[in-house]
Structure 1
Amino acid sequence: TKQAKKLSLKNVRISKLSNLSLQLYSLLLKEGYVKGDADSKALTLYFEKKLPKYEFSELGFREKLFLYKAYLWYSLILQDFVSSYKYSQKWVDLFDENPEMKIQNPVFYLKGIDYLLESLYFSKHKTKFNKVLKKLKYDVDYHNITINENTKTLAFLSYNQNKLNGYFLDGKFTEGLSYVSQLVKELKKYEFKIDAHHTMVFYYKIACMYFGANRNEDCIFYVEKIINNKDLKMREDLLCFSRILNLIAHYEAGIDADIEKLIVSTYKFLFKMNDLHQVQRKMILFLKNLSNIYPQDLKKAFIKLHAELKIYENHPFERRAFLYLDILSWLESKIENKSVELIIQQKAKLLVK
């Protein structure tokens, strides 16, 4: 019958959308972002080939959810944060239009909110970011979603990782330290509920907070927790930037007894990971030659590196370096003889969004 055929087509469509979403998600977890033009083209070809044909008006809740997810993962892998904002917003709107689904599928809702916050953070959309963060807290506090052990942990993860991001957006690193102390205690309570990957993401963000507040030895303490975790299967990009941050923090803290060894091991690691982009390459070469630069020439060297890196700030495949570590602000702090915190705060004031 016509009805049966329609149902059969619907099931095939759901299955295809679900598979595409899953495959893209695992790609995002394993590889992070595209590393070049060839990657980007291959991904687009794959996406277009696997995306089933559909009439939007015929899609139900589940199909729309899988569709938005697939587009979201696709956008994130491409580092297209305008699109990732668009599709994570659609994902969240879908639940707001069907509030009963927040009760039935709270995990999906929380994840949608989390990706929306991530997209807003990456596109530095401060006002909207703060609004969504408040919405998340409100939904949890007023039980607009089903609260159980799982959703409590997810909400804890999302809220706190994004709270850290909020401090980064404003450049309020020193102010964020009292929050970090509290967070470290809270993390202990969730020790057995949060997987290693998410714990390491917290450590990286905490390390960045200390770095921004010029507490370099504390930064090293947290970043070494990531580097020394040999069993870790986590996002390659995070492992790479942990090492670069470690190197810069050692330099800033004046712990340079083993810096040559550290540079070599960092270089080898990045090289082995096939993740040596221009930004990392130039950073490593710069740090490698640092000991040969006379103090009076240091500022000139920082200016030169800044000019070399600045051109990559909006480069589609290179800019991810700046998402993990604001190297440009660090260099500007060296050039202008100001703290990193002050530099980032000055930039934050220009974010009218």
Structure 2
Amino acid sequence: MLVHVYFHEKDIRSTEIWMSKGCHQVPLQTQKPDLMFQMMTADDTIIYEQTVSVPRYKMPPLPFQDELPVPATLLTDGDFVVTLPVFDKMDHLIIHSLETNVETIEMIRPGELKLRKTSGTAVTIIDNGDPAYNLDIVFLGDDYGPTEWGKFRDDVNACIDEFLRFSPYTDDFYLFNIYRIDNTVDLDCMVTCAGISGAICCNSASIYTAAVKVPYDEIIVIVNSSTYAGTSTVTIGGGGPESYAMVYGNMAAYATLVMIHEFGHSFGGLMDEYDYRIASGTPWGPNCDYAGCDSWKDLSGVGCYPVCSYGNLFKSNPRTCIMESLRREYCPVCAKQLTKLLDVYANMQPTPDLGYKSIGILLILLCSAFLLFYRKM
């Protein structure tokens, strides 16, 4: 796995970011590898520390009509991007692997960095408040010509409309901030790549460079193609800006549903529920389990049905979930996982500050109520 380390200035919306020279080879050995980034002063005092989970799976496109299913693939190589803030006192950055124990991978010094400009125009579509407390989603476009940004805008709006039709997103949409980047750079996306029909491959470094103009938790890339396709990267457990979803741009067909399916992977950490036609595998996501389905035994209205990605795994509902087919609903187990992740943002919402004026008004109302009650006595 090649790790690109980016540094942004104090304002994450800045048009400039810092990029390290070259890449840093990170060997991945476990299913859920974590990396720790520590910024140090000259005397090795830690001034900033961040741990990130590396995306572990690349999810295939949802089979369309009579197409043969393609299994998820383990990410052992490719690009992975980490974005970090800049501190004036930083003397060096150390990258650690936390797979088994703390192992130093590489040290980077400021002299190894060079300035790189981002491009594109950032547009805020839905603003529900401070990005620190909300789920921030950014849409990027690829292969839209100079005269097609109107189509990109319409494609993004169609995806947002689909979010509004889907539970549990509908009930929690007040937690969403949504942005669009009218990026003028090529994201190097290819439809039907790596010999897989319907798969999308993009340049990860280009995606993160374009997205850094806005604060984001999730990235969705729309490729301006009419060919049915969709792919996503997934971190175990779901969520996090390290993963992203990619979808084709034919919104009049099934693209919005494919987007919801891929977002279920990249945000929810959900597995595919259709049959890979592979005898056995491991349930690394919350919606597939071994026989008995102990993972959701306390959830009412569900069962234990074969197959879930692999022949030895089971799902909670037969053919009623968008993680299995193009249907406009998540199964209860998937919905529970997504709600759990959305609740993280719901629980972060700041308590409203009444302020002195509001407290004064409240006291006046209480006094008025007391006087009214006293006069009636």
TM-score, normalisation: structure 1: 0.28
Structure (1 or 2) with the greater strand fraction: 2
Structure (1 or 2) with the greater helix fraction: 1
Structure label with greater radius of gyration: 2
